[in-house]
Amino acid sequence: MHSLNDEILKTLLSASADPQETVSRLAALLSQPLDGLLIDHDRERRCGFPEVIYGQGKTPEQIAAAAKAILGRSGRLFATRVDLAAGAGLALELGADYDPLSRTLLVPPAQFQASRIVVVCAGTSDLPVAREAMRSLAYFGFEAELICDVGVAGLHRLNSALPRLQQAEILIVCAGMEGALPSVLGGLLSCPLIAVPTSTGYGAGGGGWAALLAMLNSCASGISVVNIDNGFGAACAASRMMKFRKGE
């Protein structure tokens, strides 16, 4: 790490008259391999949100190595799809918070931006995906509100939540089975809506395909749809929208 810091310092001291060239050289340095890992430390500058570890298929040792590299530079950390067997031990080793429901490891930033992002789930079975979205948003530095159990099986329950939903800047809506809730909300509200199909369901609808196809074919125009169970992807989309609206 010392040699990398030296190279960064040399680049800054010898900066050319072209600021873009200097930025490109620094980005290349920040993406150099470290102990066999290629961490994209420059991602937040380019994309608006920092590197995230995808834990599925990785060993606890691989996750820990990547996590320490990210923590050492940014002081915050997020890993998704970390199973329970690895999560508890990694939380202790890294000083992180492990949430078994969403299977995520989190060290949040020191400061949060106030926002009116609302994460909605049709039923309790959709909570793991909703929690992944909430924890992703926390890593990106955004506060968010959760509204649960307002699916179409008991549509009357949506009435009491409507005043809060009408104040939302962005909605992330998680639903399984036939995936109808985003269409209902898309016909009632004007804010950007990101639909997340979940793998909740029986038989032909199981695995989330029925919900995915329903959301892609929604008659409520302008809905954005991410992949099945992809709460993280929905949070990335919401983060981009928020930063663009705030001019960051």
Reported as a single tens digit per residue, the pLDDT across 43-65 is: 666 766 678 889 998 999 999 98
Which 3 state secondary structure label does DSSP give 229? coil
CA distance linking residue 165 with residue 236, whole number of Å: 20
pLDDT tens, position by position, 84-99: 989 999 999 999 999 9
Cβ contacts of 165 within 8 Å, gap of 6 or more: 118, 120, 147, 171, 185, 188, 189
% of the chain surpassing 90 pLDDT: 54
β pairing state of 104-107 and 77-80: antiparallel
* Average per-residue pLDDT for the chain: 84
Phi, psi of 142 (to 5 degrees): -115, 135
Phi, psi of 38 (to 5 degrees): -115, 90
CA atoms within 13 A on the CB side of 41: 24
pLDDT tens, position by position, 10-43: 555 565 556 666 666 655 555 554 445 677 666 6
Give residue 40's pLDDT. Answer: 65
Write down all domains in the chain, each with its CATH number in brackets.
36-107 (no CATH), 113-245 (3.40.50.1970)
Is residue 216 a contact partner of residue 224, using CB atoms and an 8 Å limit?
no
